[in-house]
Structure 1
Amino acid sequence: MSTGKVVLGTVAGLAIGGILGILFAPEKGSVTRKQIMDKGGDYADDLKSKYNEFADSISEKLQSAKDFAQELVENGKAEFDEAKNEVNHSATKY
């Protein structure tokens, strides 16, 4: 799921929940507003959690790509050195 969809869904859920809470609230306005604020805080915490998970996932993928690139460089250097030694060895034969 893309981050944009998560954010859009969260914002839409907050808006719809807030509107429905106000329209159908059996309590006084102050109680309803507190409940909406509490729910908004819960949604914000959930959004922060999803963002942190996304950031951790990206960080892990970047580290994996970095490790892979480092391995490629090391393998390439080893193969280059081996080929260079073979050329030098062949050149000294003649």
Structure 2
Amino acid sequence: MGKESNIIIGILAGTAIGATLGVLFAPDKGVNTRQKIADEALLQKERLASTAVDLKERVSASANDLRDRVATTVESQKQTLDEKVESIVTDASHKADDVITTLENKLAELKAKNKKLQKTS
């Protein structure tokens, strides 16, 4: 956006210089020429102020848009992260259940072997 504002300022400055030179070389009285220069300067000032306001509004709108897009992206990523964490916790819980079941089965086998050994002794 900096390049765009430089172009606008350049156009406005060129217009002001051109208008001033045109008025200076025009065959008119000094009082009338100075008034025309003052009027043109005031007009250019108003145009520049208008351009500055437009530029400010565009920058503000762009900043708001960027803020909204970042907020949406952050919310989306947070939701994705929450889903991944939930999935990992669920998987870990299932694996823990599998390990506990396997250990319970092994313990039952060992108890059965131990009973057999105690009966034979």
What TM-score comes out, normalization by structure 1 length? 0.90
* Residue identity in the other structure for 2:45: A
Aligned-partner Cα distance in 2 for 1:87–1:2 = 50
Aligned-partner Cα distance in 1 for 2:43–2:4 = 21
Within 5 Å, give how 1:25-36 maps onto structure 2. 25-26=27-28, 28-36=29-37
Q: Could you say which residue in structure 1 is the equivalent of 2:6?
A: 4
Residues 13-33 of structure 1, C-alpha deviations (whole Å, 9 max, x = no match): 11111111121143x211210
Deviation at 1:85, TM superposition (A): 0.7
Aligned-partner Cα distance in 1 for 2:37–2:70 = 49
* Residue identity in the other structure for 2:58: S
Higher relative contact order (CA 8 A, sep 6+): 1
Q: Could you say which residue in structure 2 is the equivalent of 1:67?
A: 68
Residues 46-87 of structure 1, C-alpha deviations (whole Å, 9 max, x = no match): 111111111110111111011101111111111111110111
> Aligned-residue CA RMSD in angstroms?
1.4
Aligned-partner Cα distance in 2 for 1:43–1:3 = 15
Unaligned runs of 5+ in 1: none
Q: Could you say which residue in structure 2 is the equivalent of 1:92?
A: 93
* Residue identity in the other structure for 1:79: T
Aligned identity (percent) is: 17
Structure 1: 4+ residue segments shifted above 3 A: none
